Amino acid sequence: MYFAQIYTPGIAQCSYVIGSGSQCVVVDPVRHIDPYLEQAKDFNMQIVAVIETHLHADFVSGHMELAEKTGAQIYAPGIANGSFQHLALADGEEFSIANLRFKMLETPGHTPDCSVFLVTDLERGDEPVLVFTGDTLLVGDVGRPDLFPNREEELAEKLFNSIKRLKELPDHIEVYPAHGMGSLCGRALSAKLWSTIGIERRYNYALQHTDQESFKTDLLTDMPAAPDHFARCTEINRKGPPLIKNLRAPQPFNAGEVAAAKEEGKVIMDTRPFHSFAAVHIPGSFSISQHGNMATFAGWVIPPEKELILVLEKESDFLRVKQALHNVGLDNIAGYLDGAVEAWLKAGLPVDSIETISASQLREWMYKEPLLVLDNRAKSEWKKEHIEGTVLAPAPDIRYLYTQWDIDAPVVVLCNTSNRSMTAASLLKQRGFKRVINVMGGTSAWAAAGYPMQPGGEG
């Protein structure tokens, strides 16, 4: 048996290539498929099958891309009701590829269609050796059951029963999930990207529950917010994503063309570092740096129906940024500013900036007068510890919370670095706030300076 785990940063996603003889299978691929093609070539194998453990919520899958490129058969849970061409599997159904036997078990809970695939290497014996658990069982966690409105109680109950089913598997079976730490498909994912049933049974907090009610309460308490693109990606994957080759080919735009496009309502997304955006940027643009968690936050706040023009640090960043946006279903990429911000400046077009201060300056200012300071981190981070007097306002929620504040008064924003707070700053500027100030280094700089933080609170 040949085996490889392929990790996609930004969305913290794990795909797999597993093969025997001259044939291999790809499990839970992302949309850009070159890594799988290269791995199959290294194995000297042909990709003959693609497995989808479920309709992924946090990224657009590559099952259609691989099927079109290689002719591979797609296997997916029948309960997903996918409208793409595939072989729909029922609970307990098996199929074989070369010397590998795959058995699907329905394990709903994270989503209604979640399933796992047990793998037996027939060259070694007749018992399963590993399981692809998708987002049902993660290392140190389980998949969140709250992604479908008004179904969280039902799905949590189903997940409890699904986990009971997995706990019956032998200790030695290796566990290979679809995500690791950094994904919002769970709450407490480990940085470790594989495990065993025995280890998870012993150490995974979710597997310690013996009654359904305590499990539900635990799983539905303090779950992080789900990004907007989660629901969008589920439906894209159900229908079968459009092939990348059929998408509009992005092009370079000169500064005048970008200015005209902006007037027409096209969206400008600036992917440069936060300090570059602070110094100078196109008025009204989004700050979503590729040096932060770009894919997740772009999927969260960029309107998918709008045509998108990118501002890059350098042109060589374009392919990486484009692929990351495709992963979260942002396909309407018109192009990018040719010559970067320098071209905009040379054209003499209007610019904007974000005022910045240090942690020490913030502390001094807060001592002198009342000040609105928005903490743009997640609620869980804020509850763990925060600066006294700050207001919890997660960066994506600025789109809805901004009506609570005076657009004519100064507003200070901070996160743990400055990436999310710069996104928040750009959202506030779009909504007409006159003076927005970003604390450079955020709470990390505050703590490093030895200033106090306090725990607790509901925000």
Number of neighbours of residue 319 by Cβ within 10 angstroms: 10
- Token readout for 19 is 């093969």
310/370 Cα distance (integer angstroms): 38
Burial class (CB in 10 A: 0-12, 13-18, 19+), 302: buried
Residue 308, phi then psi, degrees to nearest 5: -120, 130
Q: Specify the domain boundaries for CATH 3.40.250.10 within the chain.
A: 247-346, 355-448
Q: Strand ranges (DSSP E) for 170-229?
A: 174-177, 195-196
Q: Specify the domain boundaries for CATH 3.60.15.10 within the chain.
A: 2-239
- Match 């080919």 to its residue by tokens: 249
Please enumerate in sequence order all residues whose Cβ is within 8 A of that of 152, keeping only pairs 6 or more positions apart, or say none. 145, 146, 220
146/150 Cα distance (integer angstroms): 8
Whether 79 and 112 have beta carbons less than 8 Å apart is answered as yes
- Give the neighbor-by-neighbor strand order of the sheet with 73-77: 2-8, 13-20, 23-27, 46-51, 73-77, 87-89
Q: What is the pLDDT of residue 459?
A: 59
In terms of Cα–Cα distance, which of 400, 407, 411 is closest to 439? Answer: 411
Q: What is the pLDDT of residue 174?
A: 97
Q: What is the pLDDT of residue 402?
A: 97
In terms of Cα–Cα distance, which of 144, 150, 66 is closest to 111? Answer: 144
**Which residue type occupies 112?**
P
- Report the Cα 253 to chain-centroid distance in Å: 29
Mind listing the pLDDT tens digit of every residue in the chain (459 residues)? Answer: 999 999 999 899 999 999 999 999 999 999 999 999 999 999 999 999 999 999 999 999 999 999 999 999 999 999 999 999 999 999 999 999 999 999 999 999 999 999 999 999 999 999 999 999 999 999 999 999 999 888 999 999 999 999 999 999 999 999 999 999 888 877 778 889 999 999 999 999 999 999 999 999 998 988 888 899 998 999 999 999 999 999 989 999 999 999 999 999 999 999 999 999 999 999 999 999 999 899 999 999 999 999 999 999 999 999 999 999 999 999 999 999 999 999 999 999 999 999 999 999 999 999 999 999 999 999 989 999 999 999 999 999 999 999 999 999 999 999 999 999 999 999 999 999 999 999 999 999 999 999 999 987 765
- Report the Cα 150 to chain-centroid distance in Å: 22
CA distances from 364 to 127, 373, 410 (A): 66, 13, 15
In terms of Cα–Cα distance, which of 418, 412, 50 is closest to 240? Answer: 50
418/375 Cα distance (integer angstroms): 11
Q: Running DSSP on this structure, what letter comes out for residue 329?
A: T
CATH topology of domain 2-239: Metallo-beta-lactamase; Chain A (3.60.15)
Burial class (CB in 10 A: 0-12, 13-18, 19+), 200: buried
Q: Identify the CATH number of the domain defined by range 247-346.
A: 3.40.250.10
Q: Assign domain 355-448 to a CATH class.
A: alpha beta
CA distances from 85 to 50, 63, 70, 75, 78 (A): 12, 10, 14, 9, 12
CA distances from 272 to 289, 290, 294, 397 (A): 5, 7, 11, 22
